[in-house]
Structure 1
Amino acid sequence: MWANTRKGYWRTAHSPILTKALSNERFKRAGYLSFSECYSVK
């Protein structure tokens, strides 16, 4: 359902599958900073 949508990335940006797959918690566990953390550090 979310693959090959007409509007592309805009339509899938807040899809349930993407928010579960790429959560901020997952990036933190991998050792990455979120954009908000990156800008608040500097």
Structure 2
Amino acid sequence: GSAFWGIVAGLLTLLILTPIVIAMMLALRFSPASTLAFVIAAGFIV
């Protein structure tokens, strides 16, 4: 039970965090390659 909810919580956090990271990188005028790198890095942090 708790392992399942741990996975669900991680996935929900990732779904919320990804658009925020993309918006921040685009607002700071990072290149698409850098934006992708930051999104992947944010995914590993979660």
- Normalised to the residue count of structure 1, the TM-score between the two structures is 0.28
> Which entry has the higher C-alpha Rg, 1 or 2?
1
